[in-house]
Structure 1
């Protein structure tokens, strides 16, 4: 943990919980088509006015899921030359693992930045 993170006050439990839900709502994609995008989008839209921490983490989760959707589409296209099967599996596993890590960090009150993310929503 960096010195800067230790000095910042932690958001309230309710704020941390909603930020965590923004990250973990992407797991809806397991059961609902396009749930990986719909879950974070709906939660962020509903709760972004509540606290700046929720707004920032909701945007981060949504941007990551947009990046995952683009990477998944490219992987599906690359399935024509076999390498896409491997890439799609890698994207799927990475998406789940990183969403869980983001949810845990947000619940601890620390802002999480996903690696390899194209940040379209500022």
Structure 2
């Protein structure tokens, strides 16, 4: 008879961040919000359990990028739809395109402001001024 196989080793949880690493990753997560949604998702799911500052900031960043991504995608889809309607539709399509670009510029500005405030030690967390908090 053969002996039963040993159980597979369980993965160990990642080590918690030091205070400096926690601040560094929270700042990096905020700066990388310039790129929509993907960095926020990565930081939220990969690092939220490793430090209190990154947990709070990654949740805030994800909420912000969800809002901005929805605005940009909806504006682009509606812009394409209205582009097929002559004259009035073209004007509406142009305005929706401008709204999408304005949302991207607002995202760029607030991500830089938040990253600078976090890196300079002015704040321990940065809350975006107007965002619907989807993730509590």
Give the TM-score of the pair, scaled to structure 2.
Answer: 0.69
In the alignment, does 2:33 pair up with 1:26? Answer: yes
After TM superposition, the runs of 4+ consecutive aligned structure 1 residues lying more than 3 A away are none
Indicate the residue corresponding to 1:46 in structure 2. Answer: 46
Q: How far apart, CA to CA, are the structure 1 residues paired with 2:40 and 2:115?
A: 12
CA deviation after TM superposition for structure 1 residue 13, in Å:
2.3
Q: Which runs of 5+ in 2 are unaligned?
A: 1-17, 83-91
Instruction: Select between 101-110 and 37-46 the one with higher mean Cα deviation.
Output: 101-110
CA RMSD, 1 decimal: 1.7
Higher helix share: 1
In the alignment, does 2:22 pair up with 1:15? Answer: yes
CA contact (8 A) 1:78 1:84 kept: yes
Q: Which runs of 5+ in 1 are unaligned?
A: 1-10, 30-35
How many residue pairs match? The answer is 105
Q: How far apart, CA to CA, are the structure 2 residues paired with 1:58 and 1:99?
A: 12
Q: How far apart, CA to CA, are the structure 2 residues paired with 1:105 and 1:59?
A: 17
Indicate the residue corresponding to 1:105 in structure 2. Answer: 117
Give the TM-score of the pair, scaled to structure 1.
Answer: 0.77
Q: How far apart, CA to CA, are the structure 2 residues paired with 1:102 and 1:95?
A: 10
SS in 2 for 1:45: helix
Instruction: Select between 53-62 and 41-50 the one with higher mean Cα deviation.
Output: 41-50
